[in-house]
Homo-oligomer: A and B are copies of this chain.
Amino acid sequence: MTKQLNVTIWNEHRHEHKNPKVAEIYPNGIHGAIGEGLESEFHVRYATLDMPEHGLTEEVLNATDVLLWWGHMAHNEVEETIVERVYQRVLQGMGLIVLHSGHFSKIFKKLMGTGCDLKWREANDKERLWVVSPGHPIAEGIGEYIELEQEEMYGEHFDIPEPDELVFVSWFTGGEVFRSGCCYHRGMGKVFYFRPGHETYPTYYNEQVRRVIYNAVNWAKPSTRSYPAYGNAKPLEKLN
């Protein structure tokens, strides 16, 4: 199989420099670990916050079929012009996969139209992500649930619009649940939010997590249709 999709993995890439524990788990960055799981199947490129234009130039985005987004401590440093650029590309068809703490990124909030807030706890909860849509392409190759021995807890209420398709619901030891795999359509583009991936756990080395991300890239691939024609329509026709 030839590699047909161009994937860009965007990572804030700050925790890896500030927290030795994170650096130890992710010596090549969170983006590096995610990319390791995708490189055999897709053309993968990387972009980080501290690159010029955060690595998301017009050229890069125009050559991107699906963009992955991991951010946490520096959401506010992402420039509005770049957010707007990504937003327009999604409406035009680029897929977007938002990971874990990316729920609070500017781009996700802009696409959702809600606050995207939630409950959280860092206490080594066990997480089980149950498949609630068993025939969904994003659940291909996944068992009844994915179990992660230790993760940060995210709990409801998760302030998002009702997902167009809900694929996973998480259970946590401490008594919480969370809609952890959520599909949306925005313009021509597809958006998938996937919960796991706290920086202090080796989540992105987990084979099942990697499979979900791989599936999501395929699901989110752009349509080949041209962008709809908006604005002043043709004059009134006689059709009857």
Contact = CB atoms under 8 A, between A and B. Distances in A.
A58 interface: no
Contacts of A224: 140-141
A154 to B, nearest CB: 9
A156 B185 contact: no
A235 B177 contact: no
A233 B175 CA distance: 11
A229 interface: yes
Contacts of A173: 236, 239-240
Nearest to A109: B113
A57 B196 CA distance: 41
A239 B91 contact: no
A145 to B, nearest CB: 8
A175 B186 contact: no
Interface stretch (A34-42, A62-70, A122-130, A202-210): A122-130
A190 interface: yes
A19 B72 CA distance: 51
Interface residues of A, number: 77
A56 interface: no
Contacts of A164: 161-162, 165
A64 B41 CA distance: 29
A200 interface: no
B166 A118 contact: no
B144 A235 contact: no
Given A132-B179, A141-B225, 16 more contacts: A114-B187, A119-B231, A119-B232, A121-B235, A125-B236, A130-B156, A132-B157, A135-B185, A135-B222, A144-B156, A144-B228, A159-B230, A166-B166, A171-B171, A174-B237, A236-B240
